[in-house]
Structure 1
Amino acid sequence: MENQTLVFLFVCGFLMLSVSCQESMLSPPGRPSEFRTPDQLRKYLKALNDYYAIVGRPRFGRSAIKQPGTQTFGNLDSNE
């Protein structure tokens, strides 16, 4: 019983940690009001590029509605 409780607490802690870390990944980098140095602009553009590389990545197989063997446009044959 004690082992099950420890495993449960570990899993809950891990899930809470993973959810809290994901929020920072989903937000774009903060833009300063003005760029004072070229290096500051370069770092911002790199962070922005990394953000769009992650957010813009295609996600295949995410649709729960599509089922194998179904037609995309339904039944186009009017006789059936």
Structure 2
Amino acid sequence: MNNVKLIINEWDPIGVISYAPENTYEQEINIVCKYLEDVNSTEQLAEKIYEIFVRQFGTNIFNKKSEECLGVASKIMSISKV
């Protein structure tokens, strides 16, 4: 989970990590980690990441494109296979 946390915090999907508590994305990170057990591809994980952040923050606050989630998912998948 710590590696996923580092990746999500570095990505900073809603742009608040520089002034928000370190655990700002903790709930979303936990959900992503739970889905890691069930996804079979980077694309599936990217879809889940996008869905999680849209559901949690809405598209007014989380305004990233779903394609951007693919890069994040790729990083997460690469460390989760180690």
**When the two structures are superposed, what TM-score results if normalisation uses the length of structure 1?**
0.24
Higher relative contact order (CA 8 A, sep 6+): 2
The answer to which structure has the higher helix fraction is 2
Please tell me whether Structure 1 or Structure 2 has the larger radius of gyration of its CA atoms: 1
**When the two structures are superposed, what TM-score results if normalisation uses the length of structure 2?**
0.23
